[in-house]
């Protein structure tokens, strides 16, 4: 049995989940994607799918962790409508057939029982094409693509990917923000967000040893985005009973506003800014990712407590 987190963590996580879900409900329109009227998809059209993809992942994770809130089902249906029941993703793949990672949006939706057969066929063809192996992706991004294709039943379990940071077990005191993001995502995909154990026990020992150190460093840097992601890693490794490893979740929840949003670090979401954005829109872009990550970290911590 997984040791329980301290009662304070449980109460904070529950409160944070409820506040965060209220914020999502109030700001759902900001996750919407505009209708593309031309035959071309530009970089902005692709970039605006990122928040929606991360929202889909969050909804799936919260339901997977046992949250039975009707709001999650309603949100999942709204996301599918934003995808035009999959037709928008088919059009995107046909217009930009190099953009195979769009399956990151479809994979959690498939887990939530939304399906488009034409989209399945297009993704199946592209996953077997030579371009799939030639896409210029970082190792962790390629792992993400393979993980999502695995969820869609289009490839085998991604047990190995050349060049992963955690396989090299780099010196822990030189882990920058960029490296930390790679490490967290590698753990997410290689453990299926905590459903599987890492295959290499040495990597597990390395991560368990240094998670508290990294968490403290990013908490001190006021980077609750990475602090919350490291709390997700702790949950994936069944280490979320360790107070040192839950400091990231405590830090993010301590920063949660009364409206439920968790502010991101300086500059968060700025690459999504567009001309004409309102102050509310830019506030959303600066908060949405950290809020979603905090919700997942809280739900995964509570899931582990119930095992």
- What's the pLDDT tens digit per position in 238-290? 875 566 668 999 999 999 999 999 999 999 999 888 888 999 999 999 999 99
Q: Is 241 helix (H, G, I), strand (E, B) or coil?
A: coil
Mean pLDDT of 108-116: 97
Among 151-165, 237-251, 283-297, the range with the most confident prediction by mean pLDDT is 283-297
CA separation (Å) from 270 to 97, 108, 274, 275? 27, 25, 9, 12
Output the average pLDDT for the chain: 90
Per-residue pLDDT tens digits for 211-231 = 999 999 999 999 999 999 999
Euclidean distance between CA atoms 163 and 306, whole angstroms: 35
Residue 208 has pLDDT above 70, yes or no: yes
Residue 77 has pLDDT above 70, yes or no: yes
pLDDT for 122 equals 95
Share of the chain above pLDDT 90, in %: 73
Query: What is the 8-class DSSP label of residue 75?
Result: H
pLDDT for 3 equals 47
Enumerate residues 6+ apart whose C-beta is below 8 A from 56: 76, 79, 105, 108, 109, 112
Structure tokens at 7: 């009662």
Higher pLDDT, 74 or 171: 74
Share of the chain above pLDDT 70, in %: 93
How would DSSP label each residue in 92-154?
HHHHSTT-GGGHHHHHHHHHTT---HHHHHHHHHHHTSTHHHH----HHHHHHHHHHHHHTTS
- Contact (Cβ atoms closer than 8 angstroms) between residue 233 and residue 207: yes
Euclidean distance between CA atoms 147 and 151, whole angstroms: 6
Q: H or E stretch including 8?
A: helix 7-26
CA separation (Å) from 111 to 86, 196, 283, 299? 14, 17, 30, 18
Banded model confidence at residue 139, pLDDT cuts 50, 70, 90:
very high
- Contact (Cβ atoms closer than 8 angstroms) between residue 232 and residue 300: yes
Per-residue pLDDT tens digits for 29-69 = 999 987 655 556 677 777 788 999 999 999 999 999 999 99
- φ, ψ for residue 113, nearest 5 deg: 75, 25
Residue 205 has pLDDT above 90, yes or no: yes
Banded model confidence at residue 293, pLDDT cuts 50, 70, 90:
very high
């Amino acid at each position: 049995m997984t040791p329980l987190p301290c009662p304070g963590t449980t109460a904070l996580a529950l409160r944070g989940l409820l506040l965060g879900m209220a914020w999502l409900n109030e700001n759902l329109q900001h996750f919407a994607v505009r209708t593309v009227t031309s035959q071309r998809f530009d970089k902005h059209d692709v970039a605006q799918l990122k928040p929606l993809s991360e929202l889909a992942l969050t909804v799936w994770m919260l339901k997977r962790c046992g949250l039975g809130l009707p709001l999650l089902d309603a949100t999942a249906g709204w996301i599918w409508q934003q995808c035009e029941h999959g037709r928008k993703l088919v059009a995107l793949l046909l217009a930009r057939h190099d953009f195979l990672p769009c399956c990151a949006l479809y994979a959690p939706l498939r887990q939530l029982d939304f399906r488009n057969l034409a989209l399945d066929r297009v993704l199946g063809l592209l996953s077997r094409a030579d371009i799939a192996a030639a896409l210029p992706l970082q190792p962790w991004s390629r792992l993400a693509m393979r993980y999502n294709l695995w969820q869609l039943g289009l490839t085998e379990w991604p047990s190995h990917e050349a060049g992963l940071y955690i396989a090299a077990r780099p010196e822990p005191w030189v882990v920058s923000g960029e490296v930390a993001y790679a490490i967290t995502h590698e753990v997410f995909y290689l453990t299926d967000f905590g459903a599987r154990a890492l295959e290499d026990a040495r990597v597990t020992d390395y991560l368990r040893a240094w998670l508290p150190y990294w968490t403290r460093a990013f908490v001190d840097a006021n980077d609750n985005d990475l602090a919350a992601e490291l709390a997700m890693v702790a949950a994936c490794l069944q280490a979320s009973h360790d107070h040192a490893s839950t400091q990231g979740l405590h830090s993010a929840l301590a920063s949660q506003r009364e409206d439920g949003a968790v502010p991101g670090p300086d500059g968060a979401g700025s690459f999504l800014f567009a001309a004409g954005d309102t102050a509310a829109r830019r506030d959303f872009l600066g908060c949405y990712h950290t809020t979603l990550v905090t919700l997942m970290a809280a739900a995964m911590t509570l899931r582990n407590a119930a095992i």
